[in-house]
């Protein structure tokens, strides 16, 4: 629908930006931090850095937050590294790690920036992984204990909590993300048992949050894409619905309604991958009620009916944004209407409006976009980064959010990925996302200086005008 006059963005809209601990902080073993699966499992692809130093935000957070304030951020979405708080996942609490996030949160609050805290962003403590990771119910208990520490420590300062970042991508692409861990080697059945345990952990954390912090708000943070059928052939539409159920609705229904989506369950049962559900699990799942849905959006996916043979599978390897296909379920299709970025990810701003509308329609929970952005090989020339492609990307996505607001969708924030350059999950630091350039290369740390990109000045104006002026 077109509008003669758009509704304004809400006046307290969270114009924000995002990062995650292991991708931005560095200080991988500083001040008693334990090792995570990222520290021990991830084999950096040839030619790309590891996560040991990253953007060195651990040591430069004050300078970074000052820049975020200059940018005008109303909210900053970051994650807490479980291994800084409880180095082995379920043992002693590490006071230095706790102090670091107090200092970061205090710095944000002092500058009027709302902290939005992700409790777990891919970096499971390695010690828990060695004991079975998410395959073990003990990890559920460990997560709930960790959640309690976070709520008790930071609850008086933090209102907005996100449970688990992109649980769906850890399940579907754990190999690429470095999160699969030991248990992931034993096949899909084990992976979907891990998934079930993560759902239990999430539900218990949401219930605990409401019990301890009645004013707080908590929600899940999956990666959600609208799925398009390649054509109007009914079989393509069925394939799109099926993949939507397995990729998106499985995670959203569990979080929002506390039960398995029937079509997703039928998929698991058909393959013999349905998890064991212990006595009491269904009650636990039903007890976790989110206050909002956060989701990460990079693109849409287009699929066609499976041909029932290996040609359904794409050979491009694993990546959280590229459709792979699955025999008997769907095959990936190219959307001829969409351009791609330098890494083959399709760019679909209108798909963000579609996704917002669908989520609002189905769940009627307030929505916040906690990631959206374009990875690019930015270049520093004469002290400047002219990332007009990033400005164009954001402009076109914000236009669509504005339309969704006019459509009646309750969306209360937008946190692009990323506030500052950081390390990509599996493609090094040359794949840059930030509004702020970090002067380092894959293996040469240079001076790690912070340099404002052109997109910084542009987003600053957008925020100052509450999304009205996107020029």
Site residues for ligand BG6 per CB under 6 A? 20, 23, 165-166, 169, 223, 296, 320, 371, 375, 417, 424-427, 431
Give whichever of 40 and 342 is closer to ligand BG6, judged by the CB atom: 342
Distance CA 394, CA 434 (A): 12
Closer by beta carbon to ligand BG6, 50 or else 407: 50
Strands 436-438 and 450-452: antiparallel
Cα(350)–Cα(348) distance, integer angstroms: 6
Task: Give least dist CB 371 to ligand BG6, A.
Answer: 6
Nearer to ligand BG6, 78 or 260 (CB): 78
* DSSP H or E run through 279: none
The smaller minimum CB distance to ligand BG6, of residues 115 and 467, is found at 115
Do residues 82 and 150 touch, judged by C-beta distance below 8 A? Answer: no
Which residue lies nearer to ligand BG6 by CB, 175 or 241?
175
Look at residues 38, 369, 34, 383 and name the one whose alpha carbon lies nearest to residue 176.
38
Q: Is the dihedral of CA 332, 373, 433, 386 positive or negative?
A: positive
* d(C-alpha 181, C-alpha 158), whole Å: 31
Task: Tokens 């809400």: give the residue.
Answer: 10
Torsion of CA 414, 420, 422, 428, to 10 degrees: 90
- Return the closest-CA partner of residue 423 out of 448, 459, 390, 398: 448
What is the closest distance, in whole angstroms, from the C-beta atom of residue 359 to ligand BG6 in the complex? 17
* Closest distance of CB 49 from ligand BG6, Å: 12
Is 371 catalytic? The answer is: yes
CB nearer to ligand BG6: pick between 166 and 387: 166
Q: 48 or 460, CB closer to ligand BG6?
A: 48
**Which residues does 280 contact at the CB level (< 8 Å), separation at least 6?**
none
CB of 271 to ligand BG6, least distance (A): 25
Query: Among all chains, which residue has been given the structure tokens 């309690």?
Result: 148
Count the residues in the chain: 471
- Rounded distance between C-alpha atoms, residue 39 and residue 397, angstroms: 34
| Residue whose beta carbon is closest to ligand BG6 | 424
Distance (Å, whole) CA 356 – CA 233: 25
**Rounded Cα gap, residues 61 and 50, in angstroms:** 20
Q: Which of 25, 153, 166, 346 is catalytic?
A: 166
Minimum distance of ligand BG6 from residue 421's CB (angstroms): 11
DSSP state string for 378-447: ---BTTB---HHHHHHHHHHHHHHHHHHHHT--EEEE--B-SB----SSSTTTSB--SEEE---SS--TT
Annotation says 166 is catalytic = yes
Closest to ligand BG6 by CB, 265 vs 389, is 389
Cβ(369)–Cβ(296) below 8 Å: yes
Q: Please tell me what DSSP assigns to residue 249.
A: I
Catalytic residues: 166, 371
């Amino acid at each position: 629908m077109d509008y003669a006059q758009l509704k304004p963005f809400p006046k307290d809209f969270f114009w924000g930006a995002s990062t995650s601990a292991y991708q931005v902080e560095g200080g991988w073993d500083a001040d008693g931090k334990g090792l995570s699966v990222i520290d021990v499992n991830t084999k950096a692809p040839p030619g790309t850095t590891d996560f040991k130093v990253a953007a060195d935000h651990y040591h430069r957070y004050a300078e970074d937050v000052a820049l975020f304030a200059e940018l005008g951020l109303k909210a900053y979405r970051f994650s807490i590294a479980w291994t800084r708080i409880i180095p082995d996942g379920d043992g002693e609490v590490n006071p230095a790690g706790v102090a670091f996030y107090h200092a970061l949160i205090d710095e944000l609050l002092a500058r009027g920036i709302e902290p939005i805290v992700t409790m777990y962003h891919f970096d499971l403590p390695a010690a828990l992984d060695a004991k079975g990771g998410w395959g073990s119910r003990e990890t559920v208990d460990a997560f709930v204990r960790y959640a309690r520490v976070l709520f008790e420590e930071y609850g008086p300062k933090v209102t907005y909590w996100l449970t688990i970042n992109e649980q769906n991508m850890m399940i579907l692409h754990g190999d690429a993300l470095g999160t699969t861990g030991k248990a992931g080697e034993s096949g899909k059945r084990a992976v979907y048992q891990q998934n079930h345990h993560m759902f239990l952990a999430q539900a218990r954390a949401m219930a605990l949050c409401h019990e301890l912090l009645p004013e707080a708000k908590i929600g899940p943070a999956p990666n959600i894409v609208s799925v398009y059928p390649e054509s109007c052939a009914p079989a393509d539409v069925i394939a799109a619905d099926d993949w939507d159920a397995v990729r998106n609705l499985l995670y959203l229904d569990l979080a929002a309604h506390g039960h398995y989506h029937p079509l997703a369950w039928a998929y698991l049962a058909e393959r013999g991958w349905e998890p064991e559900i212990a006595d009491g699990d269904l009650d636990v799942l039903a007890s976790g009620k989110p206050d909002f849905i956060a989701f990460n959006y990079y693109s849409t996916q287009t699929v066609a009916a499976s041909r029932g043979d290996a040609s359904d599978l794409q050979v491009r390897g694993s990546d959280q944004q590229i459709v792979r296909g699955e025999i008997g379920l769907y095959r990936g299709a190219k959307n001829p209407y969409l351009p791609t970025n330098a890494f083959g990810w399709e760019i679909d701003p209108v798909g963000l409006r579609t996704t917002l509308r669908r989520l609002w329609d189905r769940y009627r929970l307030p929505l916040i976009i906690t990631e959206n952005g374009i990875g690019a090989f930015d270049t520093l020339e004469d002290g400047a980064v002219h990332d007009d492609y990033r400005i164009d990307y954001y402009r076109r996505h914000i236009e669509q959010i504005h339309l969704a607001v006019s459509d009646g969708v309750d969306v209360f924030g937008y946190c692009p990925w990323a506030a500052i350059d950081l390390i990509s999950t599996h493609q090094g630091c040359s794949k840059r996302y930030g509004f702020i350039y970090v002067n380092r290369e894959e293996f040469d740390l240079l001076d790690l200086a912070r340099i404002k990109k052109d997109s910084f000045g542009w987003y600053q104006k957008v925020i100052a005008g509450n999304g009205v002026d996107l020029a």
